[in-house]
């Protein structure tokens, strides 16, 4: 410990200051030391006021009562005098007094990986984050591939999930996850571009995992092919995306075999009025024949996707024109609002088969179907004139047709004008 002696009166500036401002200053030794607890103290005894302030004994025992640094020593010792309460972080639980619903709202804002990391803090977090209901929304990316430890943890989290996204998942990793879903709890399922197959969806349906689905996205799932089965396995679905999938069939067969429109009209018109083979003994107009066809379904249409509002069949490479025609004629869902038929090999003759009339007599108004929009973008066989004919044909429904740039008509002049317009647009874009 070092003792420093300073003669204040020997310095001319200090001597002048003492005479004018601080006449009470006298020459006195000042000693300072740094204690074991980091406190700067001096060597004079404590005062009663300092003792009442709770100063440490080492700071009050040697307090200097003279010199310009005496007050600074007192303030420093007073500030650092109170001892801090030591906290045992092994048992520290900062959320003990916070309501559990507030904690859950905070945890809802965190991504899945952060929730998994929080489980390592202490036992309280580990116990809380084991609750499956905290994981009602899970979006598990397939790229980059999740760690094996994380994949092994997912089955314990999925029983509380109602919104699940497994886009682009390979088949080996997908199957155990789908088997862990709680029946009748899942509301939204996105399996776009994954390796899911019909067999996996059928297994989920047998367990009741698809019974409450509101949204199912199977975009790009080439292993999904049976559209007829999907019509019976999704009673509550409202949004169904089958675009770019491997679907080869649609639920037209659910309502029984349907004779194509042209063949049925020819058959009825060829029957002579009054004969035994005719449906009635009167004369049949074209409108009556068409009405007979529209009501010829053998099963009510309400049993086919009864709550479906949005259906996408865009760019399905395995759907044939005959399959699409049969679906449009007899299996349009009763509550459908938007229908996406973009990038399909259709023309206005195929689209004219769209039947929006109810198959039973429950709805007396034939124009009450809620269909609002049909997406026909990328259907290159359409022209503006054919689109106008479709709009007149669907005038009572007030359907909005979405289409890309098309020809005015099939005439040679219109084709040449369209090609010149496209070439001009390309030239201006290159410039």
The model's pLDDT over 344-400, given as tens digits with 9 standing for 90+, comes to 999 989 999 998 876 554 554 545 689 999 999 999 888 888 898 998 888 878 899
Q: What is the pLDDT of residues 290-310, one digit of tens each?
A: 433 343 344 455 578 999 999
Angle ∠(380,383,387) on CA atoms, nearest 5: 110
What percent of the chain stands above pLDDT 70? 60
pLDDT for 224 beyond 60: yes
CA 176 to the chain's CA centroid? 22
- Please tell me the predicted confidence (pLDDT) of residue 304: 85
The values of phi and psi at residue 425, to 5°, are -65, -40
For residue 268, name the pLDDT band (cuts at 50, 70, 90): very low
Range 228-239 burial, b when 16+ CB lie within 10 A, else e: bbbbebbeebbb
**In 246-357, which ranges are continuous DSSP H helix?**
261-270, 286-294, 321-330, 348-351
248 in Cβ contact with 272 (< 8 Å): no
Confidence category of residue 336, pLDDT binned at 50, 70, 90: very high
pLDDT, residue 182, reads: 87
The confidence band for 152, taking pLDDT boundaries of 50, 70 and 90, is confident
Predicted local confidence at residue 163, as pLDDT = 94
For residues 409-427, average pLDDT:
69
Dump strand ranges (E) for 93-144. 137-139
**Are 122 and 148 contacting, i.e. CB atoms less than 8 angstroms apart?**
no
User: CA 106 to CA 125: how far, in whole Å?
Assistant: 13
- Residue 223's pLDDT is 95
Q: Do the Cβ atoms of 341 and 313 come closer than 8 Å?
A: yes
Peptide bond into 144 cis (omega under 30): yes
Average pLDDT, the chain: 73
Does residue 178 or residue 216 have the better pLDDT?
216
Cα separation, 354 vs 20, whole angstroms? 107
Q: Pick 427 or 127 by higher pLDDT.
A: 127
* Residue 94 pLDDT: 60
Q: How far apart are the C-alpha atoms of 147 and 110, rounded to whole Å? A: 19
- Structural domains of the chain, ranges and CATH numbers in brackets: 3-79 (no CATH), 214-258+297-431 (3.80.10)
DSSP string covering 134-182: GGSEEE---SSPPPHHHHHHHHHHGGG-SEEE-TT--HHHHHHHHTTSP
pLDDT surpasses 70 at 326: yes
pTM over 0.75: no
Residue 414 has pLDDT above 60, yes or no: yes
H/E stretch holding 339: strand 338-340
Q: Which two tokens stand for residue 385?
A: 């004139």
Task: Assess whether pLDDT exceeds 80 at residue 322.
Answer: yes
- pLDDT score of 418: 67
Is 80 exceeded by the pLDDT of residue 185? yes
| For residue 151, pLDDT beyond 70 | yes
164, 210 Cβ separation under 8 angstroms: no
Backbone angles phi, psi at 261, to 5 degrees: -60, -45
Q: Which residue has the higher pLDDT, 363 or 133?
A: 133
- Note the helical H segments in 220-320: 227-233, 261-270, 286-294
Q: Retrieve residue 311's tokens.
A: 């259906």
Q: What is the pLDDT of residues 25-51, one digit of tens each?
A: 444 444 444 444 444 444 444 454 444
pLDDT at 13: 53
Q: Is the pLDDT of residue 82 over 60?
A: no
Given this model, what pLDDT does residue 131 score? 84
Provide the pLDDT for residue 87: 63
Work out the average pLDDT over 53-78.
49
Lowest mean pLDDT among 185-199, 261-275, 354-368: 261-275
């Amino acid at each position: 410990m070092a003792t420093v002696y300073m003669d204040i009166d020997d310095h001319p500036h200090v001597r002048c200051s003492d005479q004018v401002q601080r006449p009470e200053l006298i020459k006195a030794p000042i000693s300072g030391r740094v204690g074991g607890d980091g406190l700067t103290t001096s060597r004079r005894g404590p005062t009663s006021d300092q003792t009442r302030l709770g100063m440490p004994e080492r700071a009050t025992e040697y307090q200097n009562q003279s010199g310009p640094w005496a007050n600074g020593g007192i303030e420093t010792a007073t500030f650092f005098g109170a001892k801090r309460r030591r906290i045992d972080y092994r048992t520290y639980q900062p959320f003990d007094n916070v309501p559990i619903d507030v904690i859950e709202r905070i945890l809802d804002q965190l991504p899945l990986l952060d929730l998994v990391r929080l489980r390592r803090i202490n036992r309280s977090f580990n116990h809380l984050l084991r609750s499956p209901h905290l994981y009602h929304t899970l979006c598990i990316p397939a790229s980059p591939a999740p760690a094996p430890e994380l994949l092994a943890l997912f089955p314990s989290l999925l029983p509380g999930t109602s919104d699940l996204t497994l886009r682009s998942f390979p088949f080996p990793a997908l199957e155990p996850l789908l088997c862990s879903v709680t029946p009748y709890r899942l509301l939204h399922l996105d399996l776009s571009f994954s390796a899911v197959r019909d067999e996996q969806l059928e297994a989920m349906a047998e367990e009741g995992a698809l019974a409450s689905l509101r949204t199912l996205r199977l975009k790009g799932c080439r292993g999904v092919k049976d559209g007829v089965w999907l019509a019976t396995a999704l009673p509550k679905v409202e949004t169904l995306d089958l675009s770019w999938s491997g679907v080869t069939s649609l639920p037209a067969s659910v309502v029984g075999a349907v004779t194509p429109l042209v063949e049925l009209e020819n058959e009825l018109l060829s029957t002579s009025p009054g004969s035994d083979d005719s449906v009635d003994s009167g004369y049949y107009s074209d409108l009556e024949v068409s009405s007979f066809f529209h009501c010829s379904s053998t099963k009510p249409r309400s049993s086919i996707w009864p709550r479906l509002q949005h259906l996408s069949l865009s760019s399905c490479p395995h759907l044939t024109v005959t399959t699409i025609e049969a679906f449009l004629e007899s299996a349009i869902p009763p509550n459908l609002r938007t229908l996406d038929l973009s990038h399909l090999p259709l023309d206005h003759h195929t689209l004219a088969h769209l039947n929006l009339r109810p198959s039973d007599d429950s709805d007396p108004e034939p124009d009450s179907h809620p269909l609002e929009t049909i997406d026909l973008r990328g259907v290159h066989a359409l022209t503006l004139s054919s689109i106008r004919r479709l709009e007149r044909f669907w005038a009572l429904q007030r359907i909005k047709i979405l289409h890309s740039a098309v020809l005015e008509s099939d005439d040679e002049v219109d084709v040449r004008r369209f090609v010149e317009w496209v070439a001009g647009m390309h030239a201006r874009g290159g410039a």
